[in-house]
Structure 1
Amino acid sequence: MPIDLVSRKEWGARKARGSYTALSSTKGVKVHYTGGRVDPAIVDDHAKCTGVVRSIQRQHMDGNGWMDIGYSMVACPHRKVYVGRGPGHLPAANGPGLNSGHYAVLGLVGDSGLVTPPDDMLHAILDAIDHLRDKGGAGKEIKGHRDGYATSCPGDKLYAWVKKGAPRPGSGGEPDPGDEKAPKWPGRVLKFPPIMRGDDVRTWQARMRERGWSLDVDGAYGPRSREVCESFQREKDLSVTGAVDQVTWVATWEKPIT
């Protein structure tokens, strides 16, 4: 599918202070994460993604003293790609002396909250890379920020995907070792009250039992299911809602830390 670009005007970008340094080609692209907490609620509310991008630009310009947001493009969990500095312009996020070698693409995940990139975010990162190859002369390399620079960026989840060759979701790429493949998101948030019933509830309850939680696998999402969900969300540093949204569902199948 064609790239779904969010223009600088559409996301309300501030005007850059000065002119960009031109960049005609690079060895490839480096993938980044925010390095802070990302509210998992952005998965269900695209408007919140726009707010995050604006806050990043504000931090880069007012906090770091940069002329603009440091990334070339930003990918969100709705398979939309925000134009940062864009193709043909030197980024600022890769580190001193490293910006001319690679464009910089940010995935909107962090080191807490939303840490596992949804499939549509991975698609968006790859859409951004294709765009930078087509419009900005980006080469074939896809690296993590930590490749060549001392940082935890882009986080263990994104970096594991990069190290596997950044496969398109559904393209037959190897699953993350240690994580079990989550059943397909059922498309509805499991919550109480009222009691919700169904096979999706039963599937989630069974997985939580496997993880060691005391919970009846009865297919009825009631008070006890909500309690377990709240405790699990605290454990995983997710928004504590007591409702199994898409982020909580995916986290349920991540390998428990032992």
Structure 2
Amino acid sequence: MAIDLVLRRDWSARAPHGDYTQLESTKGVKVHYTGGRVDPGIVSDHDGCVALVRSIQAHHLDGNGWVDIGYSFVACPHKRVFEGRGLHRLPAANGPGLNAGHYAVLALVGSSGLVEPPDGVLHAIVDAVEYARELGHAGKEIKGHRDGYATECPGDSLYSWVRRGAPRPDGPTPPPETPSFPGRLLSYPPVTRGEDVRTWQRQMSRRGWELAVDGAYGSQSRDVCRGFQRRQGVVDDGIVGPVTWRLAWAAPST
């Protein structure tokens, strides 16, 4: 099989802080995202991917006190796969009691910034899965981190792809289905709160807008709404009505 594997020595990985627990086989692979902001600039700068992987390892070693980076592999936008703990070694990222079941593959996308996985990331994930199956005795399962563990990881967009069977992106990705308009205007002031606000905020974050996904439509959400409305050529009143709601899902990403 073909895989563009970045070995530990090639990304200057630090030595582990102890011995790994060995794995003979797994049921498959679980897919993760960073859970924080990922700079969209890494799409055109592979050095940024290397720096990010190093920073994640440093956080896991020095912050979490783990023996090494918690992931088996890391998939980057350039269709490259970083060797983390690698094959036949217990990962740490799946959650207590769940690590022995699956290898852990991190996609370099986050909850803000770069939130939609580029095709190169998806190809790299599939390459890592096939590599783990061929040489690491991984089973057929491909799951998200949230399967069996209470977390938002790997994010809605990446999880939707996993649920579709993690296909290679050989064709255009269909636009996400637009949820029904909630029946009320989202506006500020005063602050509008609710799950409909959170749904809209999450979609805008997936589109690359910087805002907190907290279910509270305040000044930050209003300003993002105005910027989005101007980009779409509609009245920039900062109010999420039926038209702005629909465009959040239906308008092409730029």
Detail structure 1 runs of 4+ shifted over 4 Å in the superposition: 208-211
Contact 1:88 1:135 in 2 (8 A): no
The amino acid that maps onto 2:168 is R
Gaps of 5+ in 1: 180-207, 215-250
Q: TM-score, normalised by structure 1?
A: 0.70
TM-score (norm 2): 0.71
When the two chains are superposed, the root-mean-square deviation of aligned CA atoms in Å is 2.5
- Secondary structure in structure 1 of the residue aligned to 2:77: coil
Is structure 2 residue 137 aligned with structure 1 residue 137?
Answer: yes
Which runs of no fewer than 5 residues in structure 2 stay unpaired? 179-227, 235-249
CA, structure 1 residues 41+17, in 2 after alignment: closer, same or farther (shift >3 Å)? Answer: same
Query: How many corresponding residue pairs?
Result: 192
Contact 1:178 1:254 in 2 (8 A): no
| Equivalent AA in structure 1 for residue 99 of structure 2 | N
Partner amino acid, structure 2, of 1:29: V
Q: CA deviation at 1:213?
A: 2.4
Aligned to 1:81: 81
Instruction: State the match for 1:20 in structure 2.
Output: 20
Distance (whole Å) between structure 2 residues aligned to residue 109 and residue 120 of structure 1: 11
Name the CA distance, whole Å, in 2 between partners of 1:75 and 1:252: 28
1:66 paired residue number = 66
Separation in structure 1 between the aligned mates of residue 177 and residue 9 of structure 2, nearest angstrom: 42
| C-alpha distance in 2 between matches for 1:156 and 1:83 | 25
Alpha-carbon deviation of 1:175?
2.6
* Cα deviation, residue 42, structure 1: 0.1
5 Å-filtered alignment, 1:198-217, equals 212-213=232-233
Higher alpha-carbon deviation: 17-26 or 34-43: 17-26
- Shift in Å, 1:19: 1.3
Question: What is the distance in 1 between the residues matched to 2:251 and 2:127?
Answer: 28
- In structure 2, the CA distance between the partners of 1:175 and 1:57, relative to structure 1 (3 Å rule), is same
Note the C-alpha offset of 1:49: 0.1
Greater displacement, 73-82 / 162-171: 162-171
User: What are the superposed Cα offsets for residues 153-207 of structure 1, whole Å, 9 maximum, x if unpaired?
Assistant: 00011001001111111168x735338xxxxxxxxxxxxxxxxxxxxxxxxxxxx
| Match runs of 1:35-184 below 5 Å | 35-170=35-170, 175-178=174-177
Counterpart in the other structure of 2:239? none
1-side partners of 2:253 and 2:41: how far apart? 19
For residue 230 of structure 1, what is the aligned residue in structure 2? none
Letter in 2 for 1:178: E
What percent identity do the matched residue pairs reach? 65
Aligned partner of 2:252 in structure 1 is 253
The alpha carbon displacement at 1:134 in A equals: 1.1
In structure 1, how many angstroms separate the alpha carbons of the residues matched to 2:90 and 2:36?
24
Separation in 2, partners of 1:92, 1:150: 16
Counterpart Cα distance in 2 of 1:65 and 1:83: 20
Cα distance between partner residues in 2 of 1:252 and 1:2: 36
Report the AA paired with residue 233 of structure 2.
W
Q: Deviations over 1:205-236 (max 9, x none)?
A: xxx9996326xxxxxxxxxxxxxxxxxxxxxx
The CA deviation string for residues 11-70 of structure 1, in whole angstroms up to 9 with x for no partner, is: 010001111111011110000000000000000100000000000000000000000000
Identify if the C-alpha distance between structure 1 residues 58 and 162 changes in structure 2 by more than 3 Å, giving closer, same or farther: same
Cα pair distance change 1:72/1:252, threshold 3 Å: farther
Alignment partners' CA distance in 1, 2:41 and 2:6: 20
> C-alpha separation between the residues in 2 aligned to 1:252 and 1:52?
31
Deviation of the 1:135 alpha carbon: 1.3
Query: What is the Cα deviation at residue 253 of structure 1?
Result: 1.8
Separation in structure 1 between the aligned mates of residue 102 and residue 93 of structure 2, nearest angstrom: 10
